[in-house]
Chains A and B, each alone.
Chain A
Amino acid sequence: DTAVSQTPKYLVTQMGNDKSIKCEQNLGHDTMYWYKQDSKKFLKIMFSYNNKELIINETVPNRFSPKSPDKAHLNLHINSLELGDSAVYFCASSQLNEQFFGPGTRLTVL
Chain B
Amino acid sequence: GNSVTQMEGPVTLSEEAFLTINCTYTATGYPSLFWYVQYPGEGLQLLLKATKADDKGSNKGFEATYRKETTSFHLEKGSVQVSDSAVYFCALSISDYKLSFGAGTTVTVRA
Q: Give min CB distance, B3 to chain A, whole Å.
A: 13
Residue of A41, A48, A97, A99 near B106 (CB, 8 A) is A41
In the complex, whether B44 has a CB less than 8 A from a CB of chain A is yes
Residue of B45, B87, B89, B97 near A50 (CB, 8 A) is B97
Segment touching B, from A12-20, A59-67, A100-108? A100-108
- Chain A contributes a number of interface residues (CB within 8 A of B) equal to 24
In the complex, whether B29 has a CB less than 8 A from a CB of chain A is no
Main secondary structure of the interface of A (DSSP, over half): strand
Residue of B46, B89, B96, B101 near A96 (CB, 8 A) is B96
A-chain residues with CB within 8 Å of residue B34 when the two chains form the complex: 98
Main secondary structure of the interface of B (DSSP, over half): strand
Whether A97 and B103, one on each chain, are in contact in the complex, defined by CB atoms closer than 8 angstroms, is no
Whether A41 and B97, one on each chain, are in contact in the complex, defined by CB atoms closer than 8 angstroms, is no
Interface residues of A in 68-103 (CB under 8 A from B): 90, 92, 94, 96-103
In the complex, whether B43 has a CB less than 8 A from a CB of chain A is yes
> With contacts defined as CB atoms under 8 Å apart, how many contacts are there between chain A and chain B in the complex?
53
Whether A31 and B97, one on each chain, are in contact in the complex, defined by CB atoms closer than 8 angstroms, is yes
Whether A42 and B104, one on each chain, are in contact in the complex, defined by CB atoms closer than 8 angstroms, is yes
Q: A43 with B101: in contact, given A104-B42, A104-B43 (CB under 8 Å)?
A: yes
A-chain residues with CB within 8 Å of residue B44 when the two chains form the complex: 43, 90, 92, 99, 101
Query: 9 other contacts beyond A41-B38, A94-B97, A97-B95, with CB at 8 A cut-off?
Result: A31-B96, A41-B87, A41-B106, A44-B101, A45-B98, A55-B97, A97-B99, A98-B34, A98-B46
* B interface residues, Cβ below 8 angstroms from A: 32, 34, 36, 38, 42-46, 49, 51, 87, 89, 93, 95-99, 101, 103-104, 106
* A interface residues, Cβ below 8 angstroms from B: 4, 31, 40-45, 48, 50, 55-56, 90, 92, 94, 96-104
